[in-house]
Amino acid sequence: MRCPQGGNFSRGELQRFGNIELNPSAGVLNYGQGLFEGLKAYRKEDGNILLFRPEENASRMRLGAERMCMPSPTVEQFVDAIKATVLANKRWIPPAGKGSLYIRPLLMGSGAVLGLAPAPEYTFLIYVSPVGNYFKEGVAPINLIVEHELHRAAPGGTGGVKTIGNYAAVLKAQSAAKAKGYSDVLYLDCVHKRYLEEVSSCNIFVVKGNVISTPAIKGTILPGITRKSIIDTARSQGFQVEERLVTVDELLDADEVFCTGTAVVVSPVGSITYLGKRVAYADGGVGVVSQKLYSVLTRLQMGLTEDKMGWTVELS
Ligand code: PMP
């Protein structure tokens, strides 16, 4: 789908997957005008397909587009395009319980612009790929290292939207962490270097007794759709959930820690390394709270329990 700056997106069309042509001075290539989303389609036992809260991805893309001076598809256009793309790629959706189809909507400044300014034209496209687990550990615990020098987002910056530059900013720390055997990096706030922010591609939760705490949304972390869903799920399971500033000391003193995201779903954290000190959780195994929330959410996403929240969209 294409759209001029200040205009509306026209109706899209299905195309075979392949390379796309871009002008060398396209806004996305030169000034980073790019936003993406990520969601999954699961196949149910009866063969039908479930999407999880696609209108939330549509709304988040619209907020991000506003921050990045880009026009965006309406919620209806976005969701209709997701449905059409998934149905056209039905054969790539793994059988029930064997993975999912990852859906990647991408919005970019495709028009040519030489001086620094928003691009004059935009392209919205969606591609898909079958996926298994995000971390090589699967649902086994992951090991994180707290990053002290490099930051992914500054106050007033673009950390709160899903723009491509945020991911470029994490590559260096993430590659270094992986080379040392860690699964991923946990970032701290860049002012005090004391409060938790998020992991390269997921949100973080800290469990202490019956209280589950997670960093509040304040512009430097992504408002995860899994995060929001887990907050509601945990409350409905009787936990007290707090969205606030969470310190690194609380992290090190937690009973359990887990991450949430579309790709990682709910991933238990087995250990955290902070300034050379390593702390293990739940004896390095999967904590009971992480296991419970993982199970409640994934059963809902896969259509194994009744969707009382109205979060899933069924396609056949
Ligand atoms: N933070 C970042 C930086 C991410 O890239 C993601 C993945 N979209 C998340 C958090 C989790 O968001 P969601 O639950 O919507 O996938």
Catalytic residue of the set 44, 83, 162, 218: 162
Q: What would the mean pLDDT of 241-254 be, rounded to a whole number?
A: 97
**CB within 8 Å of 214: residues ≥ 6 apart:** 203, 204, 205, 206, 227, 231, 241, 242, 243, 246
Q: Which atom of ligand 1 is nearest to the CA of 225?
A: 15
Q: Which atom of ligand 1 is nearest to the CA of 152?
A: 3
Express each pLDDT in 84-136 by its tens digit.
999 999 999 999 988 999 999 999 999 999 999 999 999 999 999 999 865 55
Q: Tell me the Ramachandran region of residue 290: left when phi exceeds 0, alpha when psi lies from -120 to 50, beta otherwise.
A: alpha
Residue 201 Cβ < 6 Å to ligand 1: yes
Q: What would the mean pLDDT of 69-80 be, rounded to a whole number?
A: 96
Residues of the chain with CATH 3.20.10.10: 142-301
Distance linking the first and last C-alpha atoms of the chain = 24
Residue 222 Cβ < 6 Å to ligand 1: yes
Report the separation in Å between the CA atom of 196 and the middle of ligand 1, taken as the mean of its atom positions.
15
Four-way CATH pick for 142-301: 3.40.50.720, 3.20.10.10, 3.20.20.140, 3.40.50.300: 3.20.10.10
Assigned fold of 2-131: D-amino Acid Aminotransferase; Chain A, domain 1 (3.30.470)
Report the separation in Å between the CA atom of 178 and the middle of ligand 1, taken as the mean of its atom positions.
19
Report the separation in Å between the CA atom of 221 and the middle of ligand 1, taken as the mean of its atom positions.
9
Residue carrying structure tokens 């922010």: 197
Say what the pLDDT of residue 132 is.
Answer: 80
- The question of whether 162 is a catalytic residue gets the answer yes
Q: Model-level pTM?
A: 0.95
Long-range contacts of 15-24 (CB under 8 A, 24+ apart): 17/127, 20/123, 20/125, 22/110, 23/110, 23/111, 23/112
Say what the pLDDT of residue 119 is.
Answer: 97
Distance in angstroms (rounded) separating the CA atoms of residues 143 and 278: 10
Report the separation in Å between the CA atom of 311 and the middle of ligand 1, taken as the mean of its atom positions.
17
Say what the pLDDT of residue 138 is.
Answer: 55
Residue 143 has pLDDT above 90, yes or no: yes
Give the pLDDT band of residue 64 (cuts 50, 70, 90).
Answer: very high
3-state secondary structure of 143: strand
The complex's ipTM? 0.99
**CB within 8 Å of 241: residues ≥ 6 apart:** 211, 212, 213, 214, 231, 234, 235
What's the residue count for the chain? 316
Q: What would the mean pLDDT of 278-307 be, rounded to a whole number?
A: 92
Residue 11 has pLDDT above 60, yes or no: yes
Residues of the chain with CATH 3.30.470.10: 2-131
Please say whether the dihedral angle defined by the alpha carbons of residues 186, 187, 192 and 195, taken in this order, is positive or negative. negative
Share of the chain above pLDDT 90, in %: 90
Express each pLDDT in 186-226 by its tens digit.
999 999 999 999 999 999 999 999 999 999 999 999 999 99
Residue 226 Cβ < 6 Å to ligand 1: yes
Q: Which atom of ligand 1 is nearest to the CA of 262?
A: 16
